[in-house]
Chains A and B, each alone.
Chain A
Amino acid sequence: MAKTKSKELHISPLGRVEGDLDLRVTVDDGTVTDAFTTAGMFRGFEMILKGKDPQAGLIVTPRICGICGGSHLYKAVYALDTAWKTEVPPNGTRIRNIAQACETLQSIPRWFYAIFAIDLVNKNYAKAKGYDEAVRRFSPFVGTSYEPGVTLSGKPVEIYAIFGGQWPHSSFMIPGGVMCGPTLSDITRSIAILEYWKDEWLEKKWLGCSVDRWLENKTWNDILEWADENDSQRNSDCGFFIRYAQEIGLDKYGQGCGAFLATGTFLHPDHYTKPTIEGRNAALIARSGIWDGEGYHEFDQAKVREDHTHSFFKGKGALHPFEGRTEPLDPKDAAKENKYSWAKAPRYDVAGKGLIPLETGPLSRQVMAGQGNAKDYQDHDGLFSDAIKTVGPSVLVRVMARMHEAAKYYKLTRKWLDEVDLHDKFYIKPVEHDEGQGFGATEAARGALCDWIKIKDGKIENYQVVTPTAWNIGPQDGEKTHGPMEQAFIGTTIKDMEDPVELGHVARSYDSCLVCTVHAYDAKSGKQLTKFQVNNFC
């Protein structure tokens, strides 16, 4: 090849996904007193989408994240379904749900072993009773649970690839359904893969009991009793983790803002054949909602705002995403106006409280599952609304909510696979209207993910994506209220300033889609005490 060269390469890392997150915390006598999260890279995809064909969102948004591509596709297609007023056959919704659930099922063990559990073997815990066992199980690449956990995490997305062609950057969900015609052998193979993952990881390694036994747990106390019920459960990764987490204090901090948002996911195949923004809440299997710390409210996309007062964008204030503007500033100039992040600060308008920050993610979803008035096809599960009312949110509660979903989503996925009707349609060709606006949402593994689209003259006039990472790591708003993760750091006590593993636990418990660098400063001298990276893959 003419131009082929061989030479030593010095390749700077390409910021590939949403970019990096810088976290600055101020520490006073060992306790975090202030925190600022700075998203270090301009995302720019809303600008890419402006003026493009309305379906460009199906190609562009799955590329926003290397690990949530299926979730991006799921909500992007519903944004178009609502804008074009399509009809989606039940099979189309089933396959979309299977794909969305499988992406989350791969994320659960992968996140636990490859991201979260690494801190459990931190040398600061060397004196803990469970330390040697934690090292044996969770040491990166060599732990007895690490390897099967990470290796088996690849199984659920094989199911995604059977329907979607590839994972994660597929665009097989299209307005009106899905672009695939599965065969009986596709379904049989998918079921075999799912059962294998459930047997080998979920039941054998993680739970030490059947999925059904785990799902009998209805309160936080049930979980604690479950962990000590018999040897099999006691010695499972879950049983051990619950004991060890309490020993090293993960149940004591990382509370966060104490208020939650879920946009919900998994539309019911028979109740959302004509997708509308208004009809969405009632058709959700995993419900949406707001918990403001005292009570529940219905989720209404019209009450979402993005505040950019402290973000590197022109002007200030809070706009609804349909009116959202993306006019970037030079961060150096913007810093003069106390702007400090490329992330906007998503807020939600709660009656009587105004615009407040809300945590999103598995804990939020499981809190919403505890709401009353569930329809017979909706998930009703009081386990984590009990947890936040009895013991309150913490790193441990947040982790357990995520792991709990492995059992629930397995059951749902199996049910949809069994229900696919191979003789029925998977797609109904829609009318491509030149004008309209749509809203699509889902729950990525790491939280609420929404698109707002405005179509004019057959082109995208405005497109806004609000990610779970933005909800959780967003900066202060115009009222100087900190974002959820900023709040979760404040009040954390650090034992070893040289190695503040506590901050790692908090950051990782939110599972943000960013590489997070933590800088800790002494409150009195302003001196930088330490700097380290969290969310590393190992």
Chain B
Amino acid sequence: MTSPMRVETDCHTLVIGCGNLLRADDGVGPVLIRHMWERGLPPGVRLADGGTAGMDVAFQMRGAQRVILIDACCSDSEPGTLFRVPGEELEDLPPLEGLHSHSFRWDHALAFARWLLKDEYPTDILVYLIEAGNLDPGMELTPPVEKTMHALIDTLLEELREGSG
């Protein structure tokens, strides 16, 4: 029998989309995951809809060699702007004190994962953030965010296929 401590989640790359589907552009992460699933994935790639359960994003990361995380952001930039978070920012994560089970952001999730997973914390992590235009209650993405999301999916799938080939 498989040890219950280890769920069979080992994979080469895990793609996680975070955000709230009920707050318009904040839902871009989960929407992206859904689109990627429909388009089909190369072997060794696993998708996770992190939604708003930040702490569980960390649990999901167990067993993944490489993690790509997509979230919405609010930085007073042009809606739809895509950011790739620089590597040094991923080193300099927020302190564990002040984390909150109901308002996790991507950086909190990573900080928590680093504590939780210790030696198993993936070394190869990539974070993309898409600037939100509208965060009012609703389930539609605004056109600039939708456009950026599809462009990002194309790029990701291309990279993932090359990686698996």
Contacts and interface: CB of A to CB of B under 8 A. Distances in A.
A121 to B, nearest CB: 13
Interface in B29-60: 30, 48-49, 51-56, 59
Given A1-B84, A16-B52, A169-B30, A115 B101 contact: yes
Main secondary structure of the interface of A (DSSP, over half): loop
A196 B136 CA distance: 43
A141 B115 contact: yes
A538 B98 contact: yes
Given A11-B74, A16-B52, A155-B4, A6 B135 contact: no
A154 B56 contact: yes
A168 B100 contact: no
A504 to B, nearest CB: 14
A69 B99 contact: no
Given A66-B104, A140-B97, A154 B59 contact: yes
Contacts of A15: 23, 103
B153 to A, nearest CB: 12
Contacts of B56: 154, 157, 167-168
A131 B2 CA distance: 40
B22 A11 contact: no
A325 to B, nearest CB: 16
Nearest to A21: B102
A307 interface: no
A106 to B, nearest CB: 9
Chain A: interface size category = 35 or more
Interface string B84-105: 1110010000001111111111
Contact of B82 (A3, A10, A169, A536): A3
A196 B5 contact: yes
B52 A66 contact: yes
Interface in A158-195: 158, 166-169, 188-189, 192-193, 195
Interface string A433-466: 0000000000000000000000000000000000
A404 to B, nearest CB: 22
A17 B1 contact: no
Contact of B22 (A45, A515, A536): A45
Given A3-B148, A66-B54, A60 B139 contact: yes
B1 A114 contact: no
B33 to A, nearest CB: 10
In the complex, which of the residues A42, A64, A538 has the most CB atoms of chain B within 10 Å of its own CB atom? Answer: A538
B135 A14 contact: yes
A188 B1 CA distance: 9
A97 interface: no
Given A513-B102, A536-B98, A9 B55 contact: no
A19 to B, nearest CB: 9
Interface string A132-150: 0000000011000000001
Contacts of A12: 74
B81 A5 contact: yes
A535 interface: yes
A203 B152 CA distance: 47
B51 A69 contact: yes
Nearest to B147: A3
B83 A169 contact: no
Contact of B103 (A16, A43, A141, A188): A16
B4 A169 contact: no
Interface in A45-66: 45, 47-48, 59-60, 63-66
A1 B155 contact: yes
Contacts of B135: 14
A150 B96 CA distance: 14
B84 A10 contact: no
B75 A168 contact: no
Contacts of A69: 51, 53
Contacts of B136: 44
A45 B51 contact: no
A13 interface: yes
A145 to B, nearest CB: 15
B99 A6 contact: no
A9 B94 CA distance: 13
A537 interface: yes
Contacts of B97: 140, 538
Nearest to A5: B83
A525 interface: no
Contact of A43 (B98, B137, B151, B155): B137
A64 to B, nearest CB: 7
Contacts of B22: 44-45, 48, 60, 63-64
Given A66-B51, A166-B48, A45 B137 contact: yes
B129 interface: yes
In the complex, which of the residues B19, B51, B105, B138 has the most CB atoms of chain A within 10 Å of its own CB atom? Answer: B51
Interface string A92-123: 00000000000000000010001100000000
A63 B52 contact: yes
A524 interface: no
B82 A17 contact: no
A208 B69 CA distance: 40
8 contacts: A1-B151, A7-B83, A11-B129, A17-B52, A43-B137, A66-B102, A166-B48, A537-B55
Interface of A: 1-7, 9-18, 42-45, 47-48, 59-60, 63-67, 69, 110, 114-115, 140-141, 150-151, 154-155, 157-158, 166-169, 188-189, 192-193, 195-196, 513-515, 535-538
Top 6 A-B pairs, shortest CB-CB distance: A44-B137, A66-B52, A169-B51, A537-B99, A196-B4, A66-B53
Given A6-B84, A16-B20, A535-B102, 19 more contacts: A3-B81, A4-B84, A9-B83, A11-B75, A11-B105, A14-B20, A15-B23, A16-B102, A60-B21, A63-B22, A64-B22, A69-B51, A140-B96, A154-B56, A155-B4, A167-B56, A189-B1, A196-B4, A513-B102
Interface of B: 1-2, 4-5, 7, 19-23, 26, 30, 48-49, 51-56, 59, 72-76, 81-86, 89, 96-105, 115-116, 129, 132, 135-139, 148, 151-152, 155
